C-alpha cells in the first residue's frame, strides 16, 4: 500500500527472504562436508523448530563419535598390518 500523498510504501505483505545459507540444501551440504562444525547453521535457522534442531544435533554428534571410533580402529589395524609386513 502506498501513501496517497508521497507515494512511499507504507505496508508490504511480502515476507523477507531468508538468507541463502539457511536453505535446506546448503545446510545438508555443510553437515555432510564439515559435520558438527555446521551445527550453528541448524541452530540459527529460523525455519527449524526446536525439536528438529535437537534431533539433528544428536544425530550429527552420534555419527561423529561413531566415525571417530571406526577411524581409530582402522588406524590400529593398519599399524598392526604394517608391522607384520615390516613397513614400520
Report whether pLDDT(19) > 90: no
Three-state SS at 9: strand
pLDDT score for 4: 76
Using the structure block, give the residue that is written with the C-alpha cell 558438527: 36
For the chain, the structural domain boundaries read 20-85
Give whichever of 19-23, 45-49, 70-74 has the largest mean pLDDT.
Answer: 70-74
* pTM greater than 0.75 (yes/no): no
pLDDT score for 13: 65
Confidence at 77, pLDDT banded by 50, 70, 90: very high
d(CA 62, CA 58): 6
Amino acid at each position: 500500500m502506498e501513501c496517497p500523498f508521497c507515494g512511499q510504501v507504507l505496508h508490504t505483505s511480502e515476507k523477507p527472504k531468508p538468507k541463502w545459507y539457511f536453505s535446506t540444501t546448503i545446510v545438508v551440504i555443510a553437515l555432510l562436508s564439515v559435520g558438527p562444525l555446521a551445527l550453528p547453521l541448524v541452530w540459527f535457522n529460523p525455519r527449524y523448530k526446536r525439536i528438529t534442531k535437537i534431533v539433528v544435533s544428536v544425530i550429527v554428534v552420534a555419527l561423529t563419535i561413531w566415525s571417530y571410533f571406526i577411524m581409530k580402529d582402522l588406524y590400529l589395524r593398519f599399524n598392526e598390518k604394517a608391522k607384520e609386513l615390516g613397513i614400520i
